[in-house]
Amino acid sequence: MERATRRLLQTSKAQVHGIGVDGESRCAHYHTPLDIVAIKMRCCGVYYACKDCHIALADHEIERWPANQWKEKAILCGACGNESTIHAYLAGGYQCPTCTAAFNPGCRHHYRFYFEDLVPAQKGDAG
């Protein structure tokens, strides 16, 4: 009985690791109103608020998600607590596929730290 209750609570909002993480998964590094996305790291299967939090707290290198695994649910919206697939996130136009909360378009400059096999953005967009 107690175990079932706990599992329900966890599915409603996964735990996000990071430094100074608030209730919508902002962290000490990224904390504008739009920085509400947490990413599950492929290496450890743990949600982190950002890669810098992973660098600070994990004892290993980030492993990136190859395109053939983008159907995995590895994106957590801090506003609604729902998980999305990487594919839905990348195709979603900088908003949550579930609740349409706005995400930070600037995050695309960091996609390469989390996802492999990205189609290159505009040339000269070194970010």
Q: Measured from the CB atom, is 27 or 86 closer to Zn ion?
A: 27
Query: Within positions 3 to 42, which residues make up the interface with Zn ion, using CB under 5 A?
Result: 18, 27, 29, 41
In the complex, minimum distance from the CB of residue 82 to Zn ion, in angstroms, rounded to a whole number: 5
Q: Measured from the CB atom, is 10 or 100 closer to Zn ion?
A: 100
Find the binder of Zn ion among 17, 79, 83, 115 (CB under 5 A).
79
Tell me, residue by residue from 107 to 126, as one string, x for binding to Zn ion by CB under 5 A and - for no binding.
--------------------
Q: Take residue 57 and report the two structure tokens written for it.
A: 């707290």
Residue tagged 């695309």 (tokens): 108
3-state secondary structure the chain: CHHHHHHHHHHHCCCEECCCCCCCCCCCCCCCCCCCEEEECCCCCCEECCHHHHHHHCCCCCCCECHHHCCCEEEEECCCCCEEEHHHHHHCCCECCCCCCECCHHHHHHHHHHECCCCCCCCCCCC
Query: Within positions 41 to 70, which residues make up the interface with Zn ion, using CB under 5 A?
Result: 41, 43-44, 49-50, 52-53, 58
Residues at the site binding Zn ion, with contacts judged by CB under 5 A:
18, 27, 29, 41, 43-44, 49-50, 52-53, 58, 77, 79-80, 96, 98-99, 101
